[in-house]
Structure 1
């Protein structure tokens, strides 16, 4: 993965369950709208299509758009209609709560709402009893784990998202820069258009 990032690629992390849930909703929406169209109820199909499209946009924002993007220079957390880009050199710690939390060199934190969920306690893996990183990362990208083996614990299952973020962080060159934030304008624009379409579709004319 780090080789791909070094060549200009990127890795996007999101929960597999979110992807499954989104496409399940899309399939249900297609069935309902398609059924109305096949029955010749084009007016119903158009209205239902507009409503399902807006609900689908909401599902896309929560389940797909919200994610964590890793590249060689920075981590980008896409949260609810907002994004935060953090250069790797500003990262001093990676913590695991319900989602990933990035601790910066100024003691502020960035919550990654769209990161994959933490593994279930008691989950089974092939490497039974293997040592996995602690919930709070202590690995510095420029040296050995802080405190020797104190930052490691025995765990039932590996946290793939946490391991992926650590791997890219440790492989980075530590370039610093400002943390940038902004609104997710493309997603907001699409949502506004679909909201207008729903209003037009459901209002009696």
Structure 2
């Protein structure tokens, strides 16, 4: 999230500078390229997440979204990232969750540090949410889809970039 804020501020400063030094039209021709970078930072760094809900778990990996009712979740494990085994045989790797880090080396006089505390807490929270979930009959299906707002934003930015290229080449 901090990287997105820093990139947003830098983009705004550069666009304001372009508008002041050249004109607003030039800034509008430069804007889609900066917005494309911001979109990429958002999708890779912010949008991916894992969220436990009362009736299931919601996972977003980049642009793909999956909602699995708790009854469909077979197992929740931690390998390098949180992995959820579903009853249809598929495994859902959660890019947006905490990840297991390499154990840290210990120097003289240092004590062992728990490098995976956050990851273990997230897995335990998901397991508690599953254990506390009420059983629903019939069991709803697993829903997979796309992050529609992010895809629409990408299409708008690409259209704007195409227009900017056509205006500058024309």
Normalising by structure 2, what TM-score?
Answer: 0.80
Of 104, 107, 110, the match for 1:122: 104
SS at 2:96 equivalent: coil
Residue of structure 1 equivalent to 2:147: 184
Residue of structure 2 equivalent to 1:67: 49
Q: Using the TM superposition, name which of 105-114 and 55-64 deviates more.
A: 105-114
Of 63, 68, 75, the match for 1:81: 63
Counterparts of 1:1-205 in structure 2 under 5 Å?
19-122=1-104, 155-158=114-117, 159=119, 160-175=121-136, 176-203=139-166, 204-205=169-170
SS at 1:122 equivalent: coil
Normalising by structure 1, what TM-score?
Answer: 0.68
Residues 202 and 36 of structure 1, relative CA distance in 2, 3 Å threshold: same
Post-superposition Cα deviations, 1:130-173, rounded to whole Å, max 9, x if no partner, equal 9xxxxxxxxxxxxxxxxxxxxxxxx5441243233223222222
The 1-side partners of 2:46 and 2:15 are apart by 22
SS at 1:114 equivalent: strand
Q: Count residues with an aligned counterpart.
A: 160
Residue of structure 2 equivalent to 1:135: none
Question: Is the CA contact 1:82–1:184 (under 8 Å) kept in the aligned structure 2?
Answer: yes
The 2-side partners of 1:26 and 1:156 are apart by 31
SS at 2:33 equivalent: helix
Residue of structure 1 equivalent to 2:108: none
Post-superposition Cα deviations, 1:16-52, rounded to whole Å, max 9, x if no partner, equal xxx1222221121112112112324323311221211
Offset at residue 111 of structure 1 (A): 1.8
The 1-side partners of 2:3 and 2:127 are apart by 28
